[in-house]
Structure 1
Amino acid sequence: MTSSENTNKTILIAPLNWGLGHATRCIPVIKALQENNYIPIIASDGIALALLKKEFPYIKTLKLPSYQIEYAKNGKNFKWKLIKNSPKMIRAIWEEKRLIKKWVKKHAIDGIISDNRLGVFSKKVPSVFVTHQLNVMTGNTTWITSKLHQNIIKKYTECWVPDVATLPNLTGELGHLKKDSLNLKYIGPLSRMHKKETPKQYDLMIILSGPEPQRGLLEDKLKTEVVHYTGKVVFIKGIIQKEQTKEQIGNVTYYNFMNTRQLEQTFNESETVLCRSGYTTIMDLAKLEKKAFFIPTPGQYEQEYLAIKLANEGLVPYATQEEFKMEDVSKINTYKGLLAIDNTIVWSDLLKVFE
């Protein structure tokens, strides 16, 4: 089939609304669909949907039910908060399944790409699951959450892992199984960023993301800590609003959010980065070959695992949210920083699953 014959093929792409990572890593996938003559329809909820509407104002969007993911104020209660919220999440997944059944018919959908949305699947059309978590870290319950997740992945036509199969890789145990019966494709890191040689404008870029209340708690902490930093700082709060706001306080320039183009520019103009150790951020930093400092979200085992892994490899230092002090940032210089993983995604081959 030539790509011009794909013209009428409609692909539903549905990222999970958990922070902004799932939505932002779907941006290169959506662009690849367009470039290969597929018609994407975006489905999500909350800030993930708001962000993608800003990036792709002309693409049709559909609203999925919210998983209502909230973080505990205290990281130690993270797992219990998730368990307490699980009935809401299960209801949302059932509702997703019902909607997908209806939409496949109504919108003549020819294929599905679900980024960690567990109910976005159809037996009627090829369905792809995108995840970097083949193992789901939950402390002493990791074995059961991983098994459950792998059973869900098994239903899909293919599972795309945004990492490489070999060493060195970015996900470690998260994205690699000792033995598997899943239809896995390691597609390489997914990033919407491009490295550019630009004059440096900022000594430090602070970028926040993730669900409340933890995003807000870290913002409050860093606002008080950043006054002890002498260099030039750009501080992106990660709050998606209708209008962009900019505020200058001393040596710090605050933004509520930035679009992809501005973010890419700002990353390239910044010497170092302070952020969460979310996997999408790690992929972006690797693509840009950045030196960074991580503050994992309290109680989120996956972010803690990634921060420890990358620190042990001598790439990026980290501190807990509770213990972080602004002077810790100086440790960045004793670490190598993230390096690009050489990998080009051949989208025309990957998208053959929908032919």
Structure 2
Amino acid sequence: MNKNILVAPLNWGLGHATRCIPIIRELEKNGFTPIIASDGIALALLKKEFPHLTSLELPSYNIEYAKKGENFKWKLIKNSPKTINAILSEKQLVKKWIKEHDLKGIISDNRLGVHSKKVPSVFITHQLTVLSGKTTWISSKLHQFFINKFDECWVPDVNEIPNLTGKLGHLKNSNLNIRYIGVLSRLEKKVLEIKYDIMILLSGPEPQRSILEEKIIEEIQNAEETIVFIKGKVEKEQIKEQKGNVTFYNFMQSEELEKTFNESEMVLCRSGYTTVMDLCQLQKKAFFIPTPGQFEQEYLAKKYKREGLIPYAKQDKFSLDNLNSVPLYRGLPVMETEINWKQLLLLFECE
């Protein structure tokens, strides 16, 4: 029997796409046939990871970052007509694809229009509360309105304390059908010999990714540490470059990334939630530089520092000396959660 499931992550940096990798793997293990749908670098990454699967292109939400963090929210508002058009277009495409590809279910990671009343539809998010400064209550209610159109909402966290998302992923009162599924990571902890003192991992939309790349390259010019620098630029071919004690890569796929994480003493990266889950899974110490103006990353960075887990610095204030504080912090807690995939995927077994 055909059991095609559409898996559609938002193209906002690489986080949404990479956390869909373990979901796609588990769908295949459990006898389903995933069909990938996204756009831009998110789609490019998943096509590299799963070249044997059917992939479809969705319209872009046209998410762009401002050069100045304080303008980020206004840039999103300015782009909102394009985003609304993309949501309406993807609704039409999904309607068509259900017939064309005989879909039995949908898993959408933050794509608001990818759902249907005809097949079970799941929304994945760690942001039940969407922080946006003074407009947080509006952005949160709007997001929850869209989530309510799905049969289930999977939150990649636990419902107990300690948890990783804090107020982002936990509501006091809600009528949403929420399932806390546990920490979602494509990576596994392995005991390997330490090869790098520092692993630098970049991701996220432009221009902020490039701005941070330039700043860090300037900072590490005279560094004595052994460094591996993964730029987060998904291109046709992988490029490796050695400059002194720094090894540069444009991107890495899951297997190589897992190995590099395990071979690194500490990680310098954004405080994006997918990276947080990877660090939690691998039990690696880190230093965060949140994306300027992105409320969610700023909230998480402040939360973990306040709890004595991981230090952070604002992008314009960062210097390599900041990394000396990393050993003073405990690192993220061990989350003893095994995801019960068989139970989760029962939703798609119903006729």
The aligned residue for residue 237 of structure 1 is 231
Give yes or no for the alignment of 1:265 onto 2:259.
yes
Distance 2:309 2:320 in 1: 19
Using the size of structure 1 for normalisation, the TM-score is 0.98
The aligned residue for residue 65 of structure 1 is 59
**Shift of residue 269, structure 1, vs aligned partner:** 0.1
Greater shift in the superposed pair: 285-294 or 7-16:
7-16
Q: 1:28, 1:192 within 8 Å by CA — same for their partners in 2?
A: yes
Q: Which amino acid aligns with 2:234?
A: I
The aligned residue for residue 128 of structure 2 is 134
Distance 2:105 2:241 in 1: 44
Q: Which of 75, 93, 116 is the matching residue for 2:110?
A: 116
Give yes or no for the alignment of 1:187 onto 2:185.
no
**Shift of residue 155, structure 1, vs aligned partner:** 1.1
**Shift of residue 229, structure 1, vs aligned partner:** 2.4
Distance 2:318 2:67 in 1: 17
Q: Which of 298, 314, 325 is the matching residue for 2:308?
A: 314
**Shift of residue 339, structure 1, vs aligned partner:** 2.7
The aligned residue for residue 79 of structure 1 is 73
Runs of 4+ in 1 over 6 A off after TM superposition: none
Q: Which amino acid aligns with 1:180?
A: S
- The unaligned stretches of length 5 or more in structure 2 are none
Superposed CA offset, 1:140-197 (max 9, x none): 1000000010111111100000000010000000000011100000000100010000
SS at match of 1:41: strand
Distance 2:292 2:346 in 1: 40
Distance 2:231 2:68 in 1: 21
Q: 1:228, 1:326 within 8 Å by CA — same for their partners in 2?
A: no
Give yes or no for the alignment of 1:353 onto 2:309.
no
Superposed CA offset, 1:90-110 (max 9, x none): 000000001011111111101
Distance 2:167 2:223 in 1: 36
Q: How does 1:333-352 map to 2 (within 5 A)?
A: 333-352=327-346
The aligned residue for residue 3 of structure 1 is none
Q: Which amino acid aligns with 1:267?
A: F
The aligned residue for residue 25 of structure 1 is 19
Q: Which of 322, 325, 333 is the matching residue for 2:319?
A: 325
**Shift of residue 19, structure 1, vs aligned partner:** 0.2
SS at match of 1:165: coil
Aligned sequence identity (%):
65
SS at match of 1:227: coil
Distance 1:226 1:340 in 2: 31
**Shift of residue 251, structure 1, vs aligned partner:** 1.2
**Shift of residue 289, structure 1, vs aligned partner:** 0.3
Q: Which amino acid aligns with 2:167?
A: E
Distance 2:321 2:262 in 1: 23
Q: Which amino acid aligns with 1:298?
A: P
Q: 1:288, 1:340 within 8 Å by CA — same for their partners in 2?
A: no
SS at match of 2:258: helix
Q: 1:40, 1:59 within 8 Å by CA — same for their partners in 2?
A: yes
SS at match of 2:220: helix
Corresponding pairs, count: 349
Give yes or no for the alignment of 1:89 onto 2:83.
yes
The aligned residue for residue 244 of structure 2 is 250
Superposed CA offset, 1:246-288 (max 9, x none): 1111111100000100000000000000000000000000000
**Shift of residue 131, structure 1, vs aligned partner:** 0.3
Distance 1:228 1:289 in 2: 28
**Shift of residue 230, structure 1, vs aligned partner:** 1.5
**Shift of residue 8, structure 1, vs aligned partner:** 1.5
Superposed CA offset, 1:184-240 (max 9, x none): 000001000100000000000000000000000000000000124211000000000
Distance 1:66 1:189 in 2: 27
SS at match of 1:308: helix
The aligned residue for residue 199 of structure 2 is 205
Q: How does 1:300-311 map to 2 (within 5 A)?
A: 300-311=294-305
**Shift of residue 338, structure 1, vs aligned partner:** 1.8
SS at match of 1:185: strand
Using the size of structure 2 for normalisation, the TM-score is 0.99
Distance 1:64 1:225 in 2: 38
Q: Which amino acid aligns with 1:204?
A: I
